[in-house]
Chain A
Amino acid sequence: MFPFNSLSEKSRREFLRLTSAGVFGVSASGWLGTLAHAAGSTTPANPKAKAKACILIWLDGGASHKDMWDLKPESKGAGEFKPIKTTAPGIEISEHLPGYASLMKYGALIRGMSTAEGAHPRAKYNMHTGYREGQGGVVYPSIGSIVAKEVGKTEFPLPNFVSIGNRSFGAGFLGPKYQPLIVTDPARGVEGLSATVGEGQFEKRVNLLQELEASFYHDYQADNINDHKTTYARAVTLMKSKESKAFDLSQESAKTKQAYGTSKFAEGVLMARRLVETGIPFVEVTLGGWDTHQDNFTRVKNLSATLDKAVSALINDLKDRGLLESTLVITMGEFGRTPNINNRGANPGRDHYPRAWSLCMMGGGVKGGYVHGRTDKEGAVVEEGKTNAQDFLATVCTLMGIDYTKENETGTKRPIRIVDKAGKPVKEIIA
């Protein structure tokens, strides 16, 4: 357990102040290491974890497992799509995901996902946090914020969690320091990253600011004054840093852009690669439109094309740069879709279905060419390898070397496990 309980309030605040003051050269990992050791904690974290970063490709609306990862051509609600062979012997996926199929030997599927929430907002919350909304009156942090806190570097000039195309879920009780930086339009980069005045003028302003700040802290000595100073220092450092170029897609060649595709989503995926390469440990990229109650097949086909082109380009790119081993790429939505095809309207679709669904993980120490879990012949019931939201998050943590049993504290000093007690990682999926 994180040893906050054993510290007085003053030293706890001091600790937070120091860790947030990384820009002044205090290494957070050093502190954490020392304190964890002092508390004599044992960590079941995976010491062999390979993933240093995670890219979460979020299929917003809930993607149809039966039309992507778990096709059942013999079933009643089989749909129109044909399965194709992949580079992993015995694994077949949709014909509209040829890129994924060519890379399947680097990844694994969980076909045994079975979760509790069937409405969009609650299901998204559940899959991002591992907790159910409202449970015990706490706002839980999303996996991005957890990763930012547990593996993010405080001295790093960029935020440790970036969400592209979506506001995602935030830091909850972990606080605004671990909130995602949101990029709404990848082509435009980060809001407020460049000054509204010329560089020379901005420089003058910042210098004057530094001059005027000094005496206030000297006289009043409150932590929040120092926190303000630190935050501004980090923001200015970010503006000037070479790392902030990671947000600038114009640095990429036309050929690379071509490979990923021209959609906003593709730009987001390309940006994610740039961010991970720079050292950001968690990036979420959203592709919306998967809520296919109507016209499921046309829409899933088109969306699959966008998804497949961008993500297969990403995987190949990471591989070429030697980053695939250390980067976990997850493709998933908030639930699956009904095994049966509904009969509403001229172009039928599939409805929400959390009971049995699939997701895909590649790179980052995942066992290549592996399938976990099995559904019945309709893709309606998980018959083997049932995996819930907690298990999934425990798996992600383990792949990233995070002790998922660790407790963080809420503002009221209530200890909350990163993943609830019921969660167990899917060990078989880890190479």
Chain B
Amino acid sequence: MNFYKILAAAVLTTSLGLLVWQSPTIAADKAQAVQKKNKKALDKNTPVVDPKAIELKPQKPENPSNPSPVLEVSKLIDQEINKKLKEAKLIPSPQADDAEFLRRAYLDITGVIPSASKTREFLESKDPNKRAKLIDELIDSKGFGNRLGDIWANLMYPQDSDNRLTPKAPIREWMAKSFNEGKHWDVMTWELITATGEAEKVPEVTYIMANKGVDKLTDSVGKLFLGVQIQCAQCHNHPFTHWKQTEYWGLAQFFYKVDIQAARNANQAANITPGVSELNRPGRSRNNPLPESAKNVPAKLLGAETVKLPPTEPYRPVLATWMTRPDNPFLAKAMVNRLWWQYFGRGLVNPVDDMSDENSPSHPELLAALTKEFVKSGFDVKHMVRCLTNSEAYQRTSKPNESNKDDNELYSHQNIKVLTGEQLYDSLVSITGGDNDRPMAKGLVRGLPNSNRDRFAQFFLGTDNALPTDYEAGIPQALRLMNGPMLSQQRMVTASQRIVGKKTSPSEVVDALYLATLNRHPSDEEMKKVTTFLSKANDTRSAYADILWTLLNTAEFTLNR
């Protein structure tokens, strides 16, 4: 008996109200009897068919990739941005210096600060193309996918009691690997939306598992892939936008046959093979009780036609086909806005996942042009990142001038972003060493934070919908940084010794400490302050540790300027 049959048997057994797990064989026998008895009940659960519904044949995307030259797209970005700045009579800030650019590119693209030696090398290089080359190097490094994997895993994995036994690591690693392989967004979307199978073999099913229940899955797919918040329409017609309850439950219909197999408590973990299947018969899976308001709603593509669902085939591929077609009005635009948000500190539309007619973009033409380019490239994420980061707008200093200091949405100067928990952890560990674990969860482990990195990141995790520029840490986070094990005296002594090496001249020592942490040379004023501090110290070794501790606790370290 294969996995899916076991699942189906389990489903029917539990639909009888027997919540206790039974052996698959007994379950299957009972299931047959039940199936007959419940035939009528099942028919009642068959989705409503709208006479005007269209048919849509499932088709995995094969969108051609014809990207425009990167510099052409970057130039277009700058034209649009500069046009708005001129209209607003704002003088843009100049380009960032090499140090500012280097640290920003490292943090934004790979999620970690550069090493001291890389910093030195980049600052000393006279190559006029060194920025573009660095961008290429970073996009091709493993850090590229790791960073996106961290961002997406947090988005895809809501904090929720129903998924507490589903590990987060598999989806993070799958996303990281896919982004690193250069898998295009349409294909990733298809694979995530239609994912079926055992979690150990098909790790992308953990996205579905982490959003257990039709309502959660509908909310999540709406926000992450379509860039729209339709969750309010779950309970009432949306007061601010045109989304109606029928849109919500129409979209939700595509997830009704999703069946999640996951342990409900730690005792069951040993007996259950976690995974996702799709019923091969009409009806709804046991995970999905229906509210009254949803019962007579036909399947409907968001803002578009109603669809005839194939009763004995999986429903999700129908939705994924529509989502990943080049003319889909949501998918590309949502991803472009999300990437812009990541690299510029806010979306062209904010909140980033609330794109609607009522919420207009700051730069509508730019958003349209980038969306078009993203589709033209065949949904190539690496290409889009290259275009964004090669623009002058991206490479501007975040230091405002008198004319533009009140601007925070026209990109007259870069936004200063706050390091995420993952960025902060990886950057600290790159200096202090040790514990840089990104463990791949094997089998079913508890989904609670299970590594030092996860625990640290969890502790610093901000709210949904916060901008990357929002500083959300509070007293507990500050206490943990100042007095926690990450920056213990012993670690500070060891790390500062490693950074300083054989240098003895105070100015060289201070320079080395600045390069390793803030990735720049100290200003004259800073040099004076810190060498004065050094000169007063009785124990230089301990003073090095003090300086390192101090630099790691500065706003500048915690922020991405």
A interface residues with partner B (beta carbon < 8 Å): 10, 119, 121-122, 125, 133-139, 159, 171-177, 179, 181-182, 190-197, 201, 204-205, 208-209, 211-213, 215-217, 219-225, 227-229, 231-232, 234-236, 238-239, 410-412, 414
Contacts and interface: CB of A to CB of B under 8 A. Distances in A.
Interface stretch (B332-340, B377-385, B543-551): B543-551
Contact of A211 (B418, B488, B529): B529
Contacts of A208: 529-530, 533, 546-547, 550
Contacts of A135: 235
A179 B458 CA distance: 13
B463 A411 contact: yes
Given A137-B229, A176-B462, A196-B489, A190 B235 contact: no
Interface string B468-506: 011111111111101110011100000000000000000
Given A231-B471, A232-B478, A222 B463 contact: no
B488 to A, nearest CB: 5
A212 B529 contact: yes
Given A212-B529, A412-B354, A224 B416 contact: yes
Interface in B401-431: 405-406, 408, 415-416, 418
Contacts of B415: 222
A125 B215 CA distance: 18
Nearest to B234: A136
A159 B475 contact: yes
Counting chain B CB atoms within 10 Å of each CB, which of A201, A204, A212, A223 scores highest? A212
A428 to B, nearest CB: 31
B554 A212 contact: yes
B278 to A, nearest CB: 22
B354 A195 contact: no
B479 A235 contact: yes
Given A201-B542, A205-B549, A412-B465, A137 B219 contact: yes
A204 B530 CA distance: 12
B452 interface: no
Nearest to A135: B235
B555 A193 contact: no
Counting chain B CB atoms within 10 Å of each CB, which of A159, A176, A181, A223 scores highest? A176
A232 B400 CA distance: 24
Contacts of B354: 412
Given A222-B469, A235-B482, A133 B160 contact: yes
Contacts of A236: 482
Majority DSSP secondary structure for residues of A touching B:
helix
B399 A220 contact: yes
Contact of A137 (B234, B398, B479, B487): B234
Nearest to A173: B463
B360 interface: no
A174 B466 CA distance: 11
A294 to B, nearest CB: 14
6 contacts: A173-B463, A182-B476, A193-B483, A212-B551, A232-B482, A235-B478
B559 A234 contact: no
B231 A224 contact: no
Contacts, number: 178
Nearest to A228: B555
B484 A175 contact: no
Nearest to B351: A412
Interface string B55-91: 0000000000000000000000000000000000000
Given A10-B408, A201-B542, A221-B400, A195 B462 contact: no
B526 interface: yes
Nearest to B552: A209
Contacts of B483: 192-196, 239
Contact of B470 (A136, A196, A224, A232): A224
A173 B399 contact: no
A412 B229 contact: yes
A224 B561 CA distance: 11
Contacts of A217: 555
Given A137-B231, A208-B547, A223-B471, A216 B555 contact: yes
B474 A176 contact: yes
A213 B554 contact: yes
Given A192-B480, A209-B554, A231 B475 contact: yes
Counting chain A CB atoms within 10 Å of each CB, which of B351, B398, B399, B476 scores highest? B476
A262 B530 CA distance: 50
Contacts of A125: 161
Contacts of B550: 205, 208-209, 212
Contacts of A196: 483, 487-489
B546 A134 contact: no
A13 B264 CA distance: 42
A235 B475 contact: yes
Contact of A121 (B161, B405, B416, B466): B161
